[in-house]
Amino acid sequence: MNATPSLQGSTVDLLIRAGRVFCAATGLDGPGAVAIQGDRIVAAGSHVTVEARQTLDFPDALLLPGLIDLHAHPAVEGSKFGIAPDLHLLPRGVTTVLSQGDAGAYNWPHYRTTTIDASATRVRLAINLSARGESMPGPCLADVNDMDVEACVTAIADGGDLIWGIAVNISTPACGDTDPRLILARALEVAERTQRPLLFGSRRMPDFTLAEQLALLRPGDVLTYCFNDFNNELDALVRDGVVREEVWDARARGILFDVGHGMQSFSFPIAETAIAQGFFPDTISTDQYARHVGSIPQHDLARTLSKFLAIGLPEEEAWARVTYRPAQVLGLADEIGTLAPGSCADLAVLHWNSTALPLRDVNGVERPGGCWEPVRTVRAGRLID
């Protein structure tokens, strides 16, 4: 498929050619080019030939819409997990990122000023149910007084489209001794009152089973850390080599499943079993945060998606889950995650490194295969160094 309006006689600002151009939204897949004028894509496809003020050629690379990380920790300041998105995400192909609870109602205005407004990277927030976000040491939901429903509702009204939803994690490291049912109930109250989805981290203790938790989630809510192996009987999506019935039922009801790799939440055996049975994540995300800075190999979204290729997820499915699918989840599918003319000129160029450092899960388990690595990023028509 080509999205190639007539450009005869015109000169565009930037033309990028690549050996393979892929866009799940428009069906593009093959050699081609993307033409950019200002901050907009004006043409994309295999027959785009136009004069340009600047032309870049990547004959051995893959060109995608800018990558979208649905679960990471962009925060210039104010979060114990925070990383500067323009330093650690944007140069690695991620043009849009959703913060998983780095700010809450009390520090939301500061977060908007220092991170959202100050970053070239497009940042959206899943606001923490804790009014203090991740600004303090220890579990963010350990103090019941921090779960201020009214303040959270007010902050979401103030933030508008910049606040996508509510981040709530009811694992012990996040809520300490606080009753997880109380936490989830308050999060759902905020969600219902504001008509926002949850970005949900599940419980990993026998006091609140995964089946019970999934039953409380609503269509459009996102369960993250979906391929962890903390406890095969309690929290993993796979039990005894089979994707659990309650997980399939939740998907059928419209619950979404996000990877949220991080440093504890991705198991090759769990993910491999799920993929083999046709249970694909809806979105692939990194949970990239401060402890990943300087990691060798560098933890990023390109490497995370490469792990899914190594266990059998088809290429087209993997690429869609870091572009078009998260754009749909964020409600921005007309603007990002696509190479359609008129959309924002966010692009990621990746190359395949067959000799890259091994692909490992959080337990050190390896799978063979190379790795996609970032080459160039374009954000709103601007080349990122």
Q: Which two tokens stand for residue 3?
A: 């999205």
Q: How many residues does the chain have?
A: 385
Domain over 67-330 is classified CATH 3.90.25.10: no
**Mean residue pLDDT across the chain:** 95
Number of helices (H), then strands (E), in the chain: 11, 18
Cα(228)–Cα(238) distance, integer angstroms = 10
pTM of the model: 0.96
Give tens-digit pLDDT for 200-247: 999 877 788 899 999 999 999 999 999 998 765 556 889 889 999 999
| Positive or negative: CA dihedral 267, 321, 62, 39 | negative
Per-residue pLDDT tens digits for 264-280: 999 999 999 999 999 99
More confident residue, 232 or 21: 21
DSSP run (H or E) holding 57: strand 51-65
Q: What is the pLDDT of residues 336-358, one digit of tens each?
A: 999 999 999 999 999 999 999 99
Mean pLDDT of the 96-107 span: 98
| Percent of the chain clearing pLDDT 70 (strictly above) | 96
Which residue pairs from 232-240 have beta carbons closer than 8 angstroms and sit at least 24 positions apart in sequence? Answer: 234/204, 234/205, 234/206, 234/209, 234/210, 235/202, 235/203, 235/204, 235/210, 236/267, 236/270, 237/270, 237/274, 237/279, 238/270, 238/273, 238/274
Q: Verify cis geometry, omega within 30 degrees of 0, for the bond prior to 297.
A: yes
Q: Which helix (H) or strand (E) holds 100?
A: strand 94-100
User: Do residues 349 and 376 touch, judged by C-beta distance below 8 A?
Assistant: yes
Q: Where are the domains of the chain?
A: 67-330
Q: Which residues contact 369 (CB under 8 A, 6 or more apart)?
A: 306, 309, 310, 359
Give, as one character, the DSSP assignment of residue 114.
I
Percent over 90 (pLDDT), the chain: 88
User: Which two tokens mark 290?
Assistant: 């401060």
Query: Does position 249 have pLDDT exceeding 80, yes or no?
Result: yes
Residue with tokens 């249970």: 279
Supply the pLDDT for residue 205: 76
Q: Which residue has the higher pLDDT, 234 or 112?
A: 112
Q: What is the pLDDT of residue 235?
A: 67
CA distance 34 to 308: 27
